[in-house]
Each structure stands twice: as structure tokens, then as C-alpha cells.
Amino acid sequence: MDLDLSSVEPFRAEVRDWLRAHVPAAPLPSLETEEGFAAHRAWERELHGARLSVVSWPEPYGGRDASPLQWLVFEEEYYAAGAPGRVSQNGINLLAPTLFRHGTPEQLGRVLPPMASGEVIWAQAWSEPGAGSDLAALRATATPAPGGWLLNGQKTWSSRAAFADRGFGLFRSDPGAGRHHGLTYLMFPLDAEGLTRRPIGRLDGKPAFAELFFDDVFVPDADVIGAPGEGWKVAMSTAGNERGLTLRSPGRFTAAADRLVALWCERADPDDTALRDRVADAWIRARAYRLKGFETVSRTDDVGAETSVNKVFWSELDLALHETALDLLGPDGELEGEWLEGYVFSLAGPIYAGTNEIQRNVIAERVLGLPRTAR
């Protein structure tokens, strides 16, 4: 393993300088509110202006062709600077990789640039009331219509869909086919005729996700990703990204670990070695995740099911960081504030992007090769 980062230092310095000059002094309002969503969209535009919103993308779409290592460095600087959360994350981290692999040149040219600038913000619409972990149980349909498709049914838990512009998801286009067949991957406008959105408040009441009701929503053929009926395969290539490094980069956790150490200095009773040990452990785990990240981007083979190892690790690390912070705050731990906001966010980590129970099944069966459970 080569840990010489000197080649990326000039890039790191540029990113750091820019962030120092531009990161808002006071935190933006929560990303999960209408007001905060708008503020974060404006921030995306600013980032994009410096070509820093999607550094790893090819230049024609707004990126810089940054290497995976440069991307890791960007993320470290980004979170260390306390920069705002990424309101475009589901488009950039989930839809864009899918398009790079399965999209047509026309789709890439049309969809990616406004995604990079924050002009169009995307929501993921996979889950349904009856299809969470068991995504293949989904029932929303896409029926052929002249020039395209008509969508019907219901999606739910779509993050920030109450404020986002467009959605992407899986629909059953051949009801006669098996569970993993006859699914089609589609993009649609969230303000389409026939589409009703109902915001849902997350644990702290902020309207972080929405239910979507489709009543003959028309989608043109141009907005099908991959071949009709091949949606499962297309979707699974995005799922790997969601569980892998891109959704939750190491920089986020190393920055949080440093903030936790600062909180310890400020608030801790130095005699409380149990809390001290938890702070140390969180920092160690954040560093481990960082080093593992360098290892992952250096690999040339397919990481495959090992992304599940990653997902379990980061989601539990995030929770540990925030639980430790709240415990350090003692009676102030329940009070509204930045640590509580981060804690509420971290509580969902073991649920979304494939629950940790599902990930452990995948690790046991596909990585370790243990006998499969009958399902």
C-alpha cells in the first residue's frame, strides 16, 4: 500500500483555500426543510462555479476527471471545512453512476450538467410500503403508452422528494415475469401531472422524505435507463454505489471524529475513562475507515459484495460518533443542536441503503460463503 499523498497535495491546497474563502460562517438551515433545501441548492451552484461539485466526473459534464484518490482528498477537505451537506447527493452518488454505466450519450448530456449545478435535484424512488428490504416485491407499474410509459402505484421514503425536481426508480413493466424480471428503470419529473407528493416528517419532524402517488404519470421512452425489463440489473449497479464509498466518504467521519475530540476537551470529565475510551475508539474507527478507503480506491478488482462490509462499518461508526457526543453532553444531550441533528441522521444509517441485517446476510453468504438461508 502506497500512502504517499504528495501527488495530490496541490489539489488539496486548492480545495482547502477555496473552501476557507467560501464555506458559510454559520451553518445553513437543515437540509431536510424547504428553506434549508433552497439554501443548499444555492450552495451547490457556488460549488459548481468552482468546478468542485462533481470533481470525479468527466469535464464535459462539469467535473475535473479527478482520480479516486483526489476525490477522497476532496471529501476530507470538504468535511473538515464544515461545508454544508450535499443536497444533490442521491443524484450524484446513485443516479449518475447508473447513467455512466447504462445511460445513452443523449441522456448523459441532458441529465448530468444540470445535476452538477444543482439546477435539477434528484430523488430516489425505489421503496414502496410493501417493498423495503424486499425491493423485488415492488408493485408500482409502468405500462406501455404511445411514445413512452404510464406510471401507476405508490413509492415511499423518497428522501427530500417533497422539494426535489425529478425522481428515478423501478417500475414493474411485465407483471407476468418473475420477481427480478420485467422491471424497468425510469426517470420522471416530480411535478408531473398525475403525481401527488405527501411529505413525511422524520424522527425530529423535519419533512425529510415523501410518499409519491402515481396516477397515469406519462414518461417518454427517452427517460428509460437501460433496456425495458432489465431494470433490476441496472438498479443493482447503483445499489453497489450506495453501499460503497461514494455515499459516505471517509472525510465525513474523520472530520466528525476530530470534532468529537474537541468536544471531549471542552466538556469531558477527564476521570471518566469509559467516555474517553469511546472517543478514542470512534477516532480509531474513523481512521480505519479512511485507510480502508485508500485501499479500496487502489484496488483494480471488483469490490462486489464487500461493499456490504463497508456499509455496516460506516453506519455503525456514524452512530457511535454521535452517541458518544450526546453522552459527553450529559443532560444537554437531548437538546436541539448540531450534534443532535447529526445523531438523528445517523440513526437512519443502519436502515437505508440496505439494512444492516440484510448487509450481514450478504457478508455471511456472499463474502464468507456460508450456506444460504432458505428464503
Partner 1 sequence: MVKFILDAEQRLFGETLHKLLAGTGTPEVIRAWAGGAPDRGLALWRSLADAGVFALAVPESAGGAGPLPVELVTAFHELGRHAVPGPLAETVAAAELLARLRGGPGAGETRDGDSGDGDSGDGDSGDGLAAAWLPRIAEGTAVVSLALPPAVPYALDADAADLVLAVDGDGLRVAAPGTARGSLDPSRRLFPVGAGPAEAHTAEAGEVLASGPAVRAAASAAFGLGALACAAQLVGLGRRLLEATVEYAGARRQFGQPIGAFQAVKHQLADVLVDLEYARPLVHGAALAYGSPDFARDVSAAKAAASEAAYAAARTALQVHGAIGYTDEYDLSLWIRKARALRSAWGSPAEHRARLIASLTGGRGSGGGP
Ligand X SMILES: Cc1cc2nc3c(=O)[nH]c(=O)nc-3n(C[C@H](O)[C@H](O)[C@H](O)COP(=O)(O)OP(=O)(O)OC[C@H]3O[C@@H](n4cnc5c(N)ncnc54)[C@H](O)[C@@H]3O)c2cc1C
Residue 183: beta bridge partners?
172, 230
Please pick, from the candidates 84, 85, 132, 293, the single residue that binds ligand X as defined by CB under 6 A: 132
**Cell of residue 55, nine digits:** 470533481
Q: Please choose which of ligand X, partner 1, none residue 159 contacts, taking the beta carbon within 5 to 8 angstroms, the exact cut-off set by kind.
A: ligand X
**Cell of residue 108, nine digits:** 448523459
Judged by phi (left if over 0) then psi (alpha if -120 to 50, else beta), residue 155 lies in beta
**Cell of residue 210, nine digits:** 415523501
Q: Does 171 bind ligand X (CB under 6 A)?
A: no
Instruction: Report the C-alpha gap between 259 and 262 in whole angstroms.
Output: 5
Cβ atoms of residues 339 and 293 within 8 Å: no
Q: Which stretch binds ligand X (CB under 6 A): 178-186, 236-244, 266-274, 346-354?
A: 346-354
Q: Does 158 bind ligand X (CB under 6 A)?
A: yes
CB of 11 to ligand X, least distance (A): 31
CB of 26 to ligand X, least distance (A): 25
Q: Which residues contact 51 (CB under 8 A, 6 or more apart)?
A: 62, 63, 64
Closest CA to 114 of 70, 164, 158: 164
Instruction: Report the C-alpha gap between 93 and 373 in whole angstroms.
Output: 31
The residue (of 53 and 127) whose beta carbon lies closer to ligand X is 127
Dihedral (CA of 146, 229, 307, 358) sign: positive
CB of 151 to ligand X, least distance (A): 15
Instruction: Report the C-alpha gap between 88 and 277 in whole angstroms.
Output: 36
CA atoms within 13 A on the CB side of 128: 19
Please pick, from the candidates 53, 89, 93, 127, the single residue that binds ligand X as defined by CB under 6 A: 127
Cβ atoms of residues 219 and 188 within 8 Å: yes
**Cell of residue 249, nine digits:** 466518504
Q: Please choose which of ligand X, partner 1, none residue 158 contacts, taking the beta carbon within 5 to 8 angstroms, the exact cut-off set by kind.
A: ligand X
Q: Please choose which of ligand X, partner 1, none residue 154 contacts, taking the beta carbon within 5 to 8 angstroms, the exact cut-off set by kind.
A: none
CB of 205 to partner 1, least distance (A): 4
Cα distances (Å, whole numbers) of residue 54 to 39, 61, 168: 18, 9, 19
Q: Please choose which of partner 1, ligand X, none residue 88 contacts, taking the beta carbon within 5 to 8 angstroms, the exact cut-off set by kind.
A: none
Q: Does 315 bind ligand X (CB under 6 A)?
A: no
Q: Which residues bind partner 1 (CB under 8 A)?
A: 127, 132-134, 137, 156-157, 200-205, 209, 269, 271-272, 274-275, 326-327, 329-336, 340, 343-344, 347-348, 350-352, 355-357, 360-361, 373, 375
Q: Please choose which of ligand X, partner 1, none residue 332 contacts, taking the beta carbon within 5 to 8 angstroms, the exact cut-off set by kind.
A: partner 1
Residue 253: beta bridge partners?
none
Q: Which stretch binds ligand X (CB under 6 A): 17-25, 71-79, 254-262, 355-363?
A: 355-363
The residue (of 137 and 291) whose beta carbon lies closer to partner 1 is 137
Instruction: Report the C-alpha gap between 84 and 101 in whole angstroms.
Output: 29
Considering only residues 88-117, where is the footprint of ligand X by CB under 6 A?
A: 90
Catalytic residue among 32, 76, 77, 242: 242
Please pick, from the candidates 298, 357, 370, 372, the single residue that binds ligand X as defined by CB under 6 A: 357
CB of 209 to partner 1, least distance (A): 8
Q: Does 364 bind ligand X (CB under 6 A)?
A: no
Long-range contacts of 343-347 (CB under 8 A, 24+ apart): 344/202, 344/203, 344/204, 345/318, 346/315, 346/318, 346/319, 346/321, 346/322, 347/203, 347/319
Cβ atoms of residues 313 and 295 within 8 Å: no
Angle between helix 34-49 and helix 105-117 axes, rounded to 10 deg: 110
Considering only residues 138-157, where is the footprint of ligand X by CB under 6 A?
A: 157
CB of 40 to partner 1, least distance (A): 21
Q: Does 159 bind ligand X (CB under 6 A)?
A: yes
Is position 242 annotated as part of the catalytic site? yes
Question: Where along the sequence are the contacts to ligand X (CB under 6 A)?
Answer: 90, 124-127, 132-133, 157-159, 209, 348, 351-352, 355, 357-358, 361
Q: Which residues are the active-site residues?
A: 242
